[in-house]
Structure 1
Amino acid sequence: MAKIDQLATYAQERAEKLGIHKFDLYGATVDETSVQVDQGEPKQVKASNRSSITVRVWNSNHTMGITSTTDVDPNGVELALKTAYEASLFGVKEHTPDFSPEATLPKTDIAAEPTAPAPVSTLIENLVAAEKALLSAHPAIKGVPYNGLAQRDLERFYLNSEGARRSESRSVASVYLYSKTEEVGKKPRSAGAFRISRSVDQLDIQGCLKEAAEKTISHLNYQKIASGNYRVVFSPEAFLSLLGAFSNLFNAQSILDKQSLSTPQSLGTQIASPLLSVCDDALHRSNVGAETFDGEGTPTRRISLIDQGILTGFLHSAGTAKRMQAQPTGHANMGAKVTVSPHFYHVFPGIAAAETYAVATAEKVIWIDDLQALHAGVQALQGSFSLPFDGWLVTGGERISIESATVAGDFRALLQSIIYVEPIAELTPSGICPRIWVESLAITGVLSFQVPWFFASVSSHDPCP
């Protein structure tokens, strides 16, 4: 807190010198190290230290200007304040952003102090060992083309001229392994896994390795499937990626911009099966990257979005909350325009299901593990999607890898067609979620030469965690 107090002191001094009475600052410092390997040798080692501050200034006419800087010393802050003040003379006069009314309220404290970073040599050794083990898991696995081990220390702060003071720091480590097979007379098959923790020594590298190997091996004996309507079970990561693609359902800024599937009147309506409940919970105990306040200094909290199928909440900034006569929810991102985005989804069962389902006893069910090309195959304003996927046809509990296929439908109809939400949740990069069962979706078996170029050439897999 000493650093933010010092920053607040000289920001206030320079603001008074410039005749500025109302301002706020949001900033972050990131110290990051990441490594990639290839066939037992380091492929890429990156280290960076980045700092930035976003400064907003209001003038006597109540219009606002904004600028950003990477120079966080007194002279840099003074120049940013001056530039933002000059920009405020041209600021918008309608729906002008303002301080969050909750910027000075107490926030939840989380015991997440930064951890000591591991040496780069340790990162390389761990990743080389994981690559070697993955390559030896099966003779068909010939490479791990995408892999990465990274650690990051992050410090964030917010302050304003009315006395708000927020700061927090945390450490995050992550590992990503994505393997590829080569067999004579067969198409290459691939699969990946991801893990995240607070430090490298707590990272479940063995669990990531085991999952990547099991998934890759399970795709070796693949088969074509007939096109048709199938009962579908989504993996937690697949369902959350689809939920994220249609997050405009809950985004108050998108609603005000008329870029959403919802309207202000949608609150209280049934948008999903009563078996489904969804919250956005930045402070969830499983959220390694938990944030206790947003870019406007509003404390974060658990926000109910869907309760037993009923739309119960939107995600707000201070500005959208004011316009919709609601309360800020702690989801604002500071920038040239204040935007709204989710933190960490928590998906769980709503009412008790009349009938339960299990993969072990499933018959002719499509298990979708990973959705691809969401940037190209999602029509977020129409609610429709058509996406290639990796997955299996499950019959009698046996998984048969699907050679190539797409799943298509309407997301709102999908939500209404949920027939089971499993009780056991899994942690993913974007939230915690169980497997989700859907009564019926259109599956198209696709031959390799029929795959559109934009599906064939773009993968949703990131080379770096």
Structure 2
Amino acid sequence: MPTLQEIASYAQESAQKQGIHKYDVYGSTVDETSVQVDQGEPKQVKASQRASVIVRVWNEDGLVGVTTTTDVDPNGISLALQTAADASTFGAKEHIPDFSPEATAPVAEVDYETVPASDVQDLIKTLVEAEKAVLEAHPAIVSVPYNGIAQRQIDRFYLNSAGAQRREERSYASLYLYSKTEQEGKKPRSAGAMRVERGLPQIDVEACIQETVEKTRSHLDYRSIDSGKYPVVFSAEAFLSLLSAFSNLFNAQSILDNRSLSTAESLGTQVAVPLLTVVDDALHPENVSADTFDGEGTPTRRLPIIENGVLTHFLHSAGTAKRMGAQPTGHASIGAKVSVDANFYHVMAGQPSGQDLSLETAENVIWIDDVQALHAGVNALQGSFSLPFDGWLVNKGEKVSIDSATVAGDFRELLKSIVHVEAEPEVTPGGICPRIWVESLSITGEA
């Protein structure tokens, strides 16, 4: 890939020749290798190199045209600028996007070391051994139908005609194991685990194996539960899944599109109990895929969203910030339409709960490890959800797997029904979060 200075130079030269005065370019290249295995043999090996470049051009009337290309050479950039300039004639006349006012502001200096890609044979060998270890851990485990190791090298950049130039390289690798059991007279049970690090050598393969096996074993002896109201404890992954599903609560673009549970006046209101604090922190050391700037070149940062239960900030792009009289927050994804997305959640305790709740002493508590079917069971505009889940009924430290059940409720009521936020955090690919205790939710067991 050409250097950032080279891309900026021939983009500027081409723009001058075409009479283009205002433009920006965002691009990325991804080198990815992934493998899957089945019963000790490679099932699928894939390697790809992808490039994606988005070019925006503003014409003399201030309208913007957008185009995409996969070429970052002089001819590719020149053609993209010309195409975007032609498209600008038909650009939207309302809420026209503009450069981020922070596109030239300093970005954070992150100590991030990229890890060279591992050889494909090493990926296969690691995954075959991991699959074998899971299969040998218990006689009921008959397969690991979903598994994979993937590694990515990412190079991304942003530049504009006002002098902004940003570039960064990132690498990360992931391991995923998901087992399946078969026992006579019993339903198949499954469980899985995932690890993400900056490279294959940093992944704790043994920990991923052990988590997969332990979760699978815990689901072998299961039973149905009665429907009713139960105290519920959400794992980090389960709570973050719900938080993401209802992120329109603090997404400025959703608010402006009238597709949010909040309004512009919601800032400063109590949306959760004082026990809860939620931060979006793209630069957190545990965020393996941390970005120092967003699609508009705005530096990313630590942004408090909910502090002691109070909604304190929305996630903004440059456009939403301008319309709402705020500052961009580094959450823009550039495209034909600029979208706003969270980076990396950090959920923690706000004010102390004053309660000493523990799964070792609690009675008849539902511990939800993972929620499923979010695409079908969430009504983000109403705040309601009804989701199947994997979990256990816990009674004084003893946990019994739940056969089949769904959890239902309203997310806004859930936030105001939290009774305890544990101190010990769990790290997941999507964020950091401790276990969250909720006073009660409706659980529907299998009839």
Q: TM-score, normalised by structure 1?
A: 0.95
Is contact 1:392-1:402 (8 Å) kept? yes
Structure 1 residue 396, shift from structure 2 partner: 1.4
Is contact 1:148-1:177 (8 Å) kept? yes
- Superposed counterparts of 1:149-168, under 5 Å: 149-168=149-168
Q: 2:117: which partner in 1?
A: 117
| Letter of the structure 2 residue corresponding to residue 430 of structure 1 | G
Q: Secondary structure at the match of 2:90?
A: coil
Distance 1:408 1:2 in 2: 52
Q: 1:330: which partner in 2?
A: 330
Distance 1:356 1:276 in 2: 16
Q: Secondary structure at the match of 1:314?
A: coil
Q: Secondary structure at the match of 2:423?
A: coil
Structure 1 residue 352, shift from structure 2 partner: 0.9
| Letter of the structure 1 residue corresponding to residue 374 of structure 2 | L
Q: 1:143: which partner in 2?
A: 143
Q: 1:407: which partner in 2?
A: 407
| Letter of the structure 2 residue corresponding to residue 422 of structure 1 | E
Distance 1:271 1:113 in 2: 39
Distance 2:152 2:52 in 1: 16
Is contact 1:191-1:212 (8 Å) kept? yes
Distance 1:2 1:283 in 2: 27
Q: 1:395: which partner in 2?
A: 395
| Letter of the structure 2 residue corresponding to residue 117 of structure 1 | A
Residues 107-129 of structure 1 show CA distances to partners (whole Å, capped at 9, x for unaligned) of: 00212232111100000000000
Distance 2:411 2:316 in 1: 22
- Superposed counterparts of 1:14-25, under 5 Å: 14-25=14-25
Distance 1:344 1:190 in 2: 28
Distance 1:93 1:122 in 2: 54
> What is the alpha-carbon root mean square deviation over aligned residues?
0.8
Distance 1:239 1:113 in 2: 30
Distance 2:236 2:78 in 1: 47
Structure 1 residue 354, shift from structure 2 partner: 1.2
Distance 1:357 1:3 in 2: 55
- Superposed counterparts of 1:286-305, under 5 Å: 286-305=286-305
Structure 1 residue 356, shift from structure 2 partner: 2.0
Structure 1 residue 443, shift from structure 2 partner: 0.2
Residue 223 (structure 2) pairs with residue 216 (structure 1): no
Residue 13 (structure 2) pairs with residue 13 (structure 1): yes
Q: 1:280: which partner in 2?
A: 280
What is the percentage of aligned positions where both structures have the same residue?
67
Structure 1 residue 196, shift from structure 2 partner: 0.5
| Letter of the structure 1 residue corresponding to residue 337 of structure 2 | K
Q: Secondary structure at the match of 2:57?
A: strand
Is contact 1:113-1:169 (8 Å) kept? no
Structure 1 residue 432, shift from structure 2 partner: 0.4
| Letter of the structure 2 residue corresponding to residue 431 of structure 1 | G
| Letter of the structure 2 residue corresponding to residue 311 of structure 1 | L
Residues 389-437 of structure 1 show CA distances to partners (whole Å, capped at 9, x for unaligned) of: 0000001110100000000000000000000000010111110000000
Q: Secondary structure at the match of 1:60?
A: coil
Is contact 2:2-2:72 (8 Å) kept? no
Distance 2:359 2:292 in 1: 38
Structure 1 residue 280, shift from structure 2 partner: 0.3
Q: 1:367: which partner in 2?
A: 367
Q: 1:344: which partner in 2?
A: 344
Q: 1:311: which partner in 2?
A: 311
Q: Secondary structure at the match of 1:434?
A: strand
Is contact 1:108-1:299 (8 Å) kept? yes
Q: 1:182: which partner in 2?
A: 182
Is contact 2:2-2:73 (8 Å) kept? no
Q: 2:74: which partner in 1?
A: 74
Distance 1:400 1:173 in 2: 34
Residue 97 (structure 2) pairs with residue 102 (structure 1): no
Q: 1:258: which partner in 2?
A: 258
How many residue pairs match? The answer is 447
Q: Secondary structure at the match of 2:178?
A: strand
- Superposed counterparts of 1:434-445, under 5 Å: 434-445=434-445
Structure 1 residue 2, shift from structure 2 partner: 7.4
Q: 2:241: which partner in 1?
A: 241
Residue 230 (structure 2) pairs with residue 225 (structure 1): no
Distance 2:398 2:101 in 1: 55
Q: 1:53: which partner in 2?
A: 53
Q: TM-score, normalised by structure 2?
A: 0.99
| Letter of the structure 1 residue corresponding to residue 320 of structure 2 | T
Q: Secondary structure at the match of 1:10?
A: helix
Is contact 1:249-1:261 (8 Å) kept? yes
Q: Gaps (5+ residues) in structure 2? A: none
Is contact 2:317-2:329 (8 Å) kept? yes
| Letter of the structure 1 residue corresponding to residue 231 of structure 2 | R
Is contact 1:240-1:431 (8 Å) kept? yes
| Letter of the structure 1 residue corresponding to residue 345 of structure 2 | Y
Q: Secondary structure at the match of 1:359?
A: coil
| Letter of the structure 2 residue corresponding to residue 315 of structure 1 | L
Structure 1 residue 446, shift from structure 2 partner: 1.8
Distance 1:340 1:33 in 2: 28
Q: Gaps (5+ residues) in structure 1? A: 448-465
Distance 1:356 1:271 in 2: 24
Q: 1:32: which partner in 2?
A: 32
Is contact 1:24-1:161 (8 Å) kept? yes
| Letter of the structure 1 residue corresponding to residue 298 of structure 2 | T
| Letter of the structure 2 residue corresponding to residue 63 of structure 1 | L
Residues 47-80 of structure 1 show CA distances to partners (whole Å, capped at 9, x for unaligned) of: 0000111000001100000000001110010000
- Superposed counterparts of 1:416-455, under 5 Å: 416-447=416-447
| Letter of the structure 1 residue corresponding to residue 177 of structure 2 | L
Distance 1:445 1:48 in 2: 44
